[in-house]
């Protein structure tokens, strides 16, 4: 059973619910419903609770930040209440760009199946007041990130954000010669247009700063993040999602607050030279034993498909 947005209820003020203070308790979080918002509190200390939820702690989500809500069957005797944020409303979801695994989506509330009727009631309440897909992207962030200061260890250095500047300090063992030649880096928020986050759970995960004034935010910079002084790379346990994604979201929020910009356009397909360079780099990793035969074949096919 899947329920979708159906429109506003006649005679009720926009983006307001009839009841307030009610709590719907799930397995890893509780949702507290207020007239114009939902307060999501994540459970701490429970076995199996994603580390990202523990870092987020709680999130105040105005109803105008949501686009739709669904209720569907979950796994092993559960149901899932899933709220979908509007594009541009939440820096965390903008930074994630669809890369979060289903179980780590902070807008999914997993409930025991015997609470389906109650969940359906709240889903109906939400559907009645949400703006719906026709509302389009939000003009500003409506949900706050975890904020600064933030820091984490990447494979090739340490990333630090104090609210005004992003700094990269290179590691003796992991940083490339290109990064050592460039030296430690520091960028003011005003120099940035955004952040590119590629999940550490996939090949070539990284965090790359998009610089103001450069075409597409990257200009003539190296296509490989391990050669780019404005990027840090993940891997081997470095830059985990619960550390690097909140970092990226905090930077993205600060950039937008400092100088509001239009949501970034989808990345253009890689040009042939860039794809060839990535395949060459992949071959080096394969030759050195850092990538298995299976991973090499799969990633090479993925890169060739970009041409």
**168 lies in the same domain as 130:** no
Average pLDDT value over all residues in the chain: 85
Distance, CA of 41 to CA of 306 (rounded, Å): 40
User: Which residues span the domain enclosing 63?
Assistant: 22-135
- In this prediction, what percent of the chain has a pLDDT beyond 70? 81
Distance, CA of 44 to CA of 201 (rounded, Å): 23
Mean pLDDT for the stretch of residues 33-60:
91
Q: How many CB atoms lie within 10 A of CB 16?
A: 15
**276 lies in the same domain as 249:** no
Does residue 144 fall inside a structural domain? Answer: no
Does residue 193 fall inside a structural domain? Answer: yes
**221 lies in the same domain as 179:** yes
pLDDT at 286: 66
Instruction: State yes or no: pLDDT of 154 exceeds 90.
Output: yes
**286 lies in the same domain as 216:** no
Domain count, the chain: 3
**27 lies in the same domain as 117:** yes
Residue in 5, 197, 6, 17 with CA at minimum distance from that of residue 82: 5
Distance, CA of 157 to CA of 239 (rounded, Å): 10
Does residue 80 fall inside a structural domain? Answer: yes
**276 lies in the same domain as 253:** no
**155 lies in the same domain as 237:** yes
- How far apart are the two ends of the chain, measured CA to CA in Å? 40
pLDDT at 11: 41
CATH number (domain holding residue 26): 2.30.29
Mean pLDDT for the stretch of residues 263-287:
63
pTM, rounded to two decimals: 0.78
**191 lies in the same domain as 215:** yes
Residue in 79, 56, 65 with CA at minimum distance from that of residue 126: 65
Does residue 126 fall inside a structural domain? Answer: yes
pLDDT one-digit tens code per residue, 255-271: 999 975 454 444 445 56
**Count of all residues that appear for the chain in the document:** 307
**128 lies in the same domain as 214:** no
Does residue 5 fall inside a structural domain? Answer: no
**44 lies in the same domain as 127:** yes
Residues 30, 81 contacting (CB under 8 angstroms): no
Distance, CA of 196 to CA of 180 (rounded, Å): 22
135, 164, 183: which is the final residue of a domain? 135
- If phi > 0 it is left, if psi is from -120 to 50 it is alpha, else beta; for residue 68 that is beta
Instruction: Tell me the longest C-alpha to C-alpha distance in the chain.
Output: 67
pLDDT one-digit tens code per residue, 87-115: 999 999 999 999 999 999 999 999 999 99
In sequence order, what are the residues at sequence separation of 6 or more whose Cβ sits closer than 8 angstroms to the Cβ of residue 239?
Answer: 152, 153, 154, 155, 200, 205, 206, 207, 232, 233
**28 lies in the same domain as 126:** yes
Mean pLDDT for the stretch of residues 28-53:
91
Distance, CA of 205 to CA of 232 (rounded, Å): 9
> Cis (ω within 30 of 0) for the bond into 149?
yes
Does residue 50 fall inside a structural domain? Answer: yes
Does residue 212 fall inside a structural domain? Answer: yes
Instruction: State yes or no: pLDDT of 302 exceeds 90.
Output: no
Does residue 188 fall inside a structural domain? Answer: yes
In order, the DSSP letters of 68-110 are: EEEEEE-SSSEEEEEEEEPTTS-HHHHHHTT-S-GGG-TTEEE
**38 lies in the same domain as 100:** yes
What contacts 24+ positions apart, CB below 8 Å, involve 118-122? 118/24, 119/24, 119/71, 119/79, 119/81, 120/3, 120/71, 122/22, 122/24, 122/31, 122/33, 122/81
Distance, CA of 51 to CA of 248 (rounded, Å): 16
pLDDT at 72: 95
């Amino acid at each position: 059973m899947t329920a979708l947005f159906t429109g506003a209820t006649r005679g009720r003020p926009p983006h307001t619910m009839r009841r307030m203070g009610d709590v719907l308790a799930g397995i890893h979080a509780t949702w507290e419903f207020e007239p114009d918002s939902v307060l999501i509190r994540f459970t701490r200390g429970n076995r199996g609770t994603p580390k990202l939820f523990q870092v987020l702690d709680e999130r105040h989500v105005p109803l105008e930040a949501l686009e739709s809500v669904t209720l569907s069957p979950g796994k092993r005797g559960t149901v899932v209440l899933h709220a979908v944020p509007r594009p541009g409303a939440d820096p965390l979801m903008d930074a994630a760009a669809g890369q979060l695994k289903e179980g780590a989506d902070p807008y999914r509330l997993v409930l025991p199946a015997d609470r389906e009727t109650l969940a359906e009631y709240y889903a109906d309440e939400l559907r009645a007041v949400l703006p719906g897909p026709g509302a389009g992207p939000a003009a500003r962030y409506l949900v706050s990130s975890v904020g600064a200061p933030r820091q984490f260890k990447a494979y090739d250095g340490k990333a630090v954000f104090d609210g005004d500047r992003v700094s990269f300090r290179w590691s003796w063992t992991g940083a490339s010669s290109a990064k050592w030649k460039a030296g430690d880096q520091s960028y003011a928020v005003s120099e940035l247009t955004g952040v590119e986050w590629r999940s550490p759970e996939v090949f070539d995960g990284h965090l790359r700063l998009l610089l103001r004034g450069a075409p597409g935010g990257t200009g003539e910079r190296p296509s490989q993040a391990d050669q780019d002084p404005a990027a840090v790379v993940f891997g081997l346990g470095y830059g985990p999602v619960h550390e690097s994604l909140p970092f990226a979201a905090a930077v993205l929020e600060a950039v937008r607050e400092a100088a509001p910009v239009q949501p970034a356009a989808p990345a253009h397909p890689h040009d042939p030279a860039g794809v060839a360079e990535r395949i060459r780099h992949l071959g080096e990793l394969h030759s050195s034993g850092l990538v298995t035969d299976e991973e090499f074949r799969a990633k090479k096919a993925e890169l060739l498909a970009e041409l």
